[in-house]
Amino acid sequence: MPDLSIEIAGIKLRNPVLLASGTAGYGEDIARYCDLNRVGAIITKGIALKPTPGNPPPRICETPAGMLNAIGLPNVGVDTFIKENIPFLKKFDTRVIVNIFGATVDEYGEVAGSFTGVEGVHGLEVNISCPNIKEGGIAFGTDLEATRRVVRTVRRSTTLPVIIKLSPNVTDIIPFAMVCKDEGADAISMINTLLGMSIDTETWKPRLANITGGLSGPAIKPVAVRMVWQVYNAVDIPIIGMGGITTTGDAVEFFLAGTSAVAVGTANFLNPNVSIEIIDGLGRYLEERGIDSIRGLIGAVKI
Amino acid sequence: MPDLSIEIAGIKLRNPVLLASGTAGYGEDIARYCDLNRVGAIITKGIALKPTPGNPPPRICETPAGMLNAIGLPNVGVDTFIKENIPFLKKFDTRVIVNIFGATVDEYGEVAGSFTGVEGVHGLEVNISCPNIKEGGIAFGTDLEATRRVVRTVRRSTTLPVIIKLSPNVTDIIPFAMVCKDEGADAISMINTLLGMSIDTETWKPRLANITGGLSGPAIKPVAVRMVWQVYNAVDIPIIGMGGITTTGDAVEFFLAGTSAVAVGTANFLNPNVSIEIIDGLGRYLEERGIDSIRGLIGAVKI
Amino acid sequence: MRARVISNLCIKGSYYKLTIKPSTSIRAIAGQFLMIRPAAYQAFYEPLLPRPFSIHRLSPDGNLEILYKVVGKGTAILARCGNNDEIDFLGPLGNGFPVRLTKGSSGEILIVAGGIGVAPMLYLTESLRASCPEKRVIVFEGGRETVDLLCVEELKKIATEVILATQDGSTGIKGYVTEALEWYLHKRSSEMQATVYACGPNPMLKRIAEIVYPLNVDTYFSLEATMACGIGLCMGCAVKRKGGGYFLVCKDGPVFRGETIDFDF
Amino acid sequence: MRARVISNLCIKGSYYKLTIKPSTSIRAIAGQFLMIRPAAYQAFYEPLLPRPFSIHRLSPDGNLEILYKVVGKGTAILARCGNNDEIDFLGPLGNGFPVRLTKGSSGEILIVAGGIGVAPMLYLTESLRASCPEKRVIVFEGGRETVDLLCVEELKKIATEVILATQDGSTGIKGYVTEALEWYLHKRSSEMQATVYACGPNPMLKRIAEIVYPLNVDTYFSLEATMACGIGLCMGCAVKRKGGGYFLVCKDGPVFRGETIDFDF
Ligand SMILES: Cc1cc2nc3c(=O)[nH]c(=O)nc-3n(C[C@H](O)[C@H](O)[C@H](O)COP(=O)(O)OP(=O)(O)OC[C@H]3O[C@@H](n4cnc5c(N)ncnc54)[C@H](O)[C@@H]3O)c2cc1C
Ligand SMILES: Cc1cc2nc3c(=O)[nH]c(=O)nc-3n(C[C@H](O)[C@H](O)[C@H](O)COP(=O)(O)OP(=O)(O)OC[C@H]3O[C@@H](n4cnc5c(N)ncnc54)[C@H](O)[C@@H]3O)c2cc1C
Ligand SMILES: Cc1cc2nc3c(=O)[nH]c(=O)nc-3n(C[C@H](O)[C@H](O)[C@H](O)COP(=O)(O)O)c2cc1C
Ligand SMILES: Cc1cc2nc3c(=O)[nH]c(=O)nc-3n(C[C@H](O)[C@H](O)[C@H](O)COP(=O)(O)O)c2cc1C
Ligand code: FES
Ligand code: FES
């Protein structure tokens, strides 16, 4: 069997297939359909200091080969999460990466700090790219100096591995990746959703109550692959790639472009077991080609 | 019959449905399938000072609900175009908007200048957003100062209506629209393609010889609609909207978001007569709702 | 899970009945639903997401029946599925309707179905008939025109009474099904108890909530919401909870007590 | 244009034959092609683009036949089309093969088909038989294994000789069809004239160009390229022209004289 294991941001993963934040909840609901003992890691739905209810409905709509969402980061708050949700996740032999967000730079630091020493948490993914809320989102991820401040603050607030989740809604993503590296982030994950909008031509109302939302799914894959390839060639920092990954082939494409691991997002809604199928598929893909490790694919695109 | 006519950038259009640049050639090939007397205008494939051959193949590949292209702006050059292609277009009772590009700011000005007094040309669309060539493209459209210089130069070089074609590959498109307005552009068109990439998982080679290409088609529609809506609300300049328009409903969505006219691009490849079907569809759409002019839709989204 | 299409027939107009045989046997209660995606379109991302459909009926031989209306891409693709085609599905999902009424609950059972909202209501009527054989079960069914009234004969066989309404007046009372309900309730004393089960467009449910508000009536509403996953992952199917916050239709519902929902959305 | 599916049958393996009746009558020459999109999937953008297929045959009753291999999304969707389904198409497109050889041209006609490249070659063989009845017509057909050899019986009926090759050696010569051609040409005097018609993967055409380069042979190659529009709009289907620049396969081809193409791509 080819070796699928990988170490990223100092986290040892059984395999490089993760569940993307916001598409697997805190693990409970997907666990019935997907064996969490088998995935590389679960990245949990975004967590903030205090509970938030999320946006009013409608929160989602389908678009050609994609979907828009403006869920608005409903979350139970750090305390409840640590008390009630981490214990569930600890039952599984997997890695838990907690996705966090905050309304201010300090809040990012505070949330990050709360996880220090919490058993069962292996890393933090810092969402600076949510397009759906005023706080804690895209305003940080599309401004280089704001990104720098968040990364610096989070880095100082925790000894856990820090992964920064980048926004694709920028002219040039490379400087953002560089800032992450400069400020001591252990890895980056990309991409979050593209900012989009859809209007109902019967009612003339936006299809989302939030007016705009984040575009995800197969439609955005070419944009994600391009950005991964750009960053891989410009910045020496490990990348967790995501954006439309639905099949083994999609995952392979991201590895060839330069990611060290991939995360499956929207595809979980089509098939909550798809990550397991991709893990098995990657094993077969390597085996058929006589490649002994997933590392043989990373950045191997032939230019 | 509802009134579909519209004036944009001082160009009187029979209806607001245009053929997008690069998807209808110089008119000859599409004329056999689509009655050019009926479209609002044809925007011709990009023209530069000198002929250029375009990029090596493969130049296109399909992606989920979209396609990538790196055609690389093959063009016959201004002189041949005026001598051989304009006469053909003059046979039709339609408007001709010539899409132009250049390798330098001065070249933009020179190309624009060449069309002064050329009968049969009703306006210029200035492409500062082609992602596929080093010159004449995205480098101008993603840099505010470069955009300013191009618009200023073109504006000074011609008395023809000037439409600037904006790139979606920017963090915030509003300042670009503002610069266009400030520098005297008559309208903007948006969006050009999103920069993307796709890798063949069998050969490990990029699916395009140019490595990256421009993503178009239904997949990008939510991004286009969002950007149109942002600009409509922030800048007082008429917008020609495009990006994935394939049906009457898609066109309506763009009008509701704020465009004064729409252009059909990739959809011409699915059905070269689709623009006519959309024109008829818009008429019916307005009629069914008792709206007497297409102007009743512009920016009418209910927020 | 996988199932095989046993039949997929147009009943009338744009209404279809799909019968599938799941690879393992299924138990379900009325009001639960499935998330469905035809397997042949797995590699096609248009439509991208699976679609929710109520379980119309479980046949004795273990087949699942879905009653659906073709309204857009997902249902159009479903209508193209032929015999022996494979269907991917998740389910039964959601809570379903409670059919064992609490001891104290007395009075009639009123079942209100709007349009394709009738899909789960035949099974519900059967279940209620079995669990509360002593009760009167009145079914109100409404649609735009006669073609939109489904399962009428089957319902008539099991319900105490079936009251029909069409907007064009072509069958039954002319007007909304809620007007039929209102008219019926007005005839009774306002002290009389009743349990209302309803499924249909959210505006219909909202109207029912308003109608029964002053009365002594329990309500169980099956809500609609756009769904991406059907199992609590996406948090897309939110509806407003009275007093603040949200429910997830797929996980907390789709059946809710009417008074817990804030219909101002 | 619209056409109706008369039949759409699997011949063997992943090979299908589609017969359609266009709404208006069509004339075409061998080597021309259609851009095809099933009408039922018009509103679905997966696959987005129409697909090019050679005209396999025109039947006397005005039907169009397409011979195709299921390789991906577009062909998979095509294979799901049933009788009476509607097909949108453009065509006949492109130049097709010249079948009236110039007076001076003497020698044999050699037809080389690789894999599904055989699709237009039966019609071509028929046409050449009709226009040059006095000439010897040798058909070389190659495939990976026996299942990949199509139309063999039909070709045998009209060609002077049919030479088969399979990579696994299960039928005919073991090896590439180009090796069969090479072996055949080596037997002849290098002064002898011939006209080669070829359709198949571009590497096959490149190899043929190399083989015939020193010989006194005319070549007509039908080239493949990814196409978006098929009618000269997208400029996507470029192939390198010898001496610089590009041809568009859909508009300038798909048939080119071999020596005009730069195969180094
Ligand atoms: C729990 C649950 C159970 C359901 N059970 C059934 C059932 O048994 N039979 C049945 O026919 N339908 C049922 N529905 C509705 C069904 O899911 C939708 O009709 C279907 O998803 C439409 O998919 P589409 O792709 O054909 O339409 P789309 O292309 O998605 O939409 C077409 C049009 O229908 C509207 N639409 C889409 N979804 C809904 C919706 N959920 N409610 C109201 N309007 C909508 C859209 O706004 C649009 O105007 C149920 C929905 C839920 C949430
Ligand atoms: C002028 C012309 C005539 C043709 N005639 C026929 C015909 O008569 N019968 C027939 O079966 N096919 C024919 N083809 C090829 C046919 O168009 C492709 O097989 C088809 O477009 C594949 O579509 P798909 O969606 O099924 O595959 P895709 O999903 O697009 O691709 C699946 C796989 O096939 C490969 N592929 C796709 N297109 C081509 C291509 N053009 N050449 C080589 N590999 C390709 C892809 O790289 C991928 O690996 C012709 C092509 C051209 C240009
Ligand atoms: C419904 C939904 C909710 C999401 N919630 C979060 C979130 O809480 N935090 C976050 O960083 N990203 C969130 N994302 C973004 C995904 O993690 C992922 O980056 C994005 O969807 C692209 O991947 P995909 O195309 O595979 O879905 C969410 C995406 C979706 C579709
Ligand atoms: C094959 C192709 C060629 C194009 N060539 C040009 C061009 O020459 N100049 C230009 O300004 N835009 C060009 N475009 C961009 C389109 O005009 C349009 O802005 C874009 O494709 C988005 O619209 P669509 O999704 O409807 O295609 C091209 C697009 C495609 C797909
Ligand atoms: S549909 Fe995804 S959470 Fe309910
Ligand atoms: S396929 Fe579009 S130009 Fe040839």
Residues ≥6 apart with Cβ < 8 Å to A116: A157, A158, A159, A160
Which residue of C45, C46, C83, C86 is the best one to mutate when testing the D interface, meaning the one whose CB has the most D CBs within 10 A? C46
pLDDT in the model for residue A140: 84
Looking at chain A, which subunits does it touch, using at least 3 CB pairs closer than 8 Å as the criterion? B, C, D
| 3-class DSSP state of C7 | strand
Interface residue B64 vs chain C (CB under 8 A) = yes
| 3-class DSSP state of B300 | coil
Q: Convert B43-80 to b/e letters by CB count within 10 Å (16 or more is b).
A: bbbbbbbeebebbbbbbbbbbbbbbbbbbbbbbbbbee
Segment A68-91 shows an average pLDDT of: 95
Q: How confident is the model at residue C42 (pLDDT cuts 50, 70, 90)?
A: confident
Tell me whether strands A17-19 and A261-264 are parallel, antiparallel or unpaired: parallel
Segment D119-147 shows an average pLDDT of: 93
Angle formed at CA C241 by CA C238 and CA C244, multiple of 5 degrees: 110
Ligand 4-lining residues (CB < 6 angstroms): B 20-23, 45-46, 69, 71, 73, 99, 127, 130, 165, 192-193, 216-217, 220, 242-245, 264-267; D 234
Q: How confident is the model at residue D246 (pLDDT cuts 50, 70, 90)?
A: very high
pLDDT in the model for residue D102: 59
pLDDT in the model for residue D186: 84
Pocket test for ligand 1, best of C48, C71, C150 (most atoms within 8 A of CB): C71
Block residue for tokens 């349009």: C115
* The amino acid at D65: E
- pLDDT over threshold 90, residue A137: no
Cβ contacts of C40 on chain D, cutoff 8 Å: 80
Tell how far the Cα of A204 is from the centroid of ligand 4, in angstroms.
Answer: 27
| Residues in a beta bridge with D245 | none
How many of the other CB atoms lie within 10 Å of CB of C182? 16
Q: Is A58 exposed, middle or buried (0-12, 13-18, 19+ CB in 10 A)?
A: buried
* Max CA pair span of chain D: 58
pLDDT tens by residue, B185-240? 999 999 999 999 999 999 999 999 999 999 999 999 999 999 999 999 999 999 99
Tokens, residue A239: 């990348």
Cβ <8 Å between C226 and A219: no
Instruction: Dump the DSSP string for D209-226.
Output: HHHHTTSSEEEEEEPP--
pTM: 0.96
pLDDT in the model for residue C233: 97
How close C117 gets to chain D, by Cα (Å)? 26
Q: Is C12 exposed, middle or buried (0-12, 13-18, 19+ CB in 10 A)?
A: exposed
What is the total residue count of chain A? 303
pLDDT tens by residue, C117-158? 999 999 999 999 988 888 889 999 999 999 999 999 999 999
- pLDDT over threshold 70, residue C103: no
C-beta of residue B266 within 8 angstroms of C-beta of residue B67:
yes
Domains belonging to chain D, first-starting first, are: 2-93 (2.40.30.10), 99-260 (3.40.50.80)
pLDDT in the model for residue B132: 62
Tokens, residue C84: 């022996």
pLDDT in the model for residue B138: 67
Cβ <8 Å between D240 and B57: yes
* Max CA pair span of chain B: 56
Residues ≥6 apart with Cβ < 8 Å to A121: A86, A96, A97, A98, A115, A160
- Give the percent of chain A with pLDDT over 90: 93
Closest CA to C250 of C133, C26, C91, C41: C91
pLDDT in the model for residue B264: 98
At the second CATH level, the architecture of B6-296 is Alpha-Beta Barrel (3.20)
Cβ <8 Å between C265 and A60: no
- Give residue limits of the domains in chain A: 6-296
Interface residue D10 vs chain B (CB under 8 A) = no
- ipTM of predicted complex: 0.96
CA dihedral C161, C167, C173, C178 (to 10 degrees): 60
pLDDT in the model for residue C106: 67
Cβ <8 Å between C48 and A23: no
pLDDT in the model for residue D132: 86
pLDDT in the model for residue D265: 63
Block residue for tokens 């001496």: D243
Segment D104-126 shows an average pLDDT of: 90
Residues ≥6 apart with Cβ < 8 Å to B255: B16, B241, B262, B294, B297, B298, B299, B300
Find the ligand nearest to D93 CA. Answer: 2
Segment D156-182 shows an average pLDDT of: 93
Low-confidence ranges of chain B (pLDDT < 50): none
Closest ligand 2 atom to D120 CA? 8
- Give the percent of chain B with pLDDT over 70: 97
Q: Is D129 exposed, middle or buried (0-12, 13-18, 19+ CB in 10 A)?
A: middle
Cβ <8 Å between D237 and B246: no
Segment C159-165 shows an average pLDDT of: 93
pLDDT tens by residue, D65-86? 999 999 999 999 999 999 999 9
Find the ligand nearest to C76 CA. Answer: 1
pLDDT in the model for residue A132: 62
Q: Is A106 exposed, middle or buried (0-12, 13-18, 19+ CB in 10 A)?
A: middle
**B34 flagged as catalytic:** no
Q: How confident is the model at residue D189 (pLDDT cuts 50, 70, 90)?
A: confident
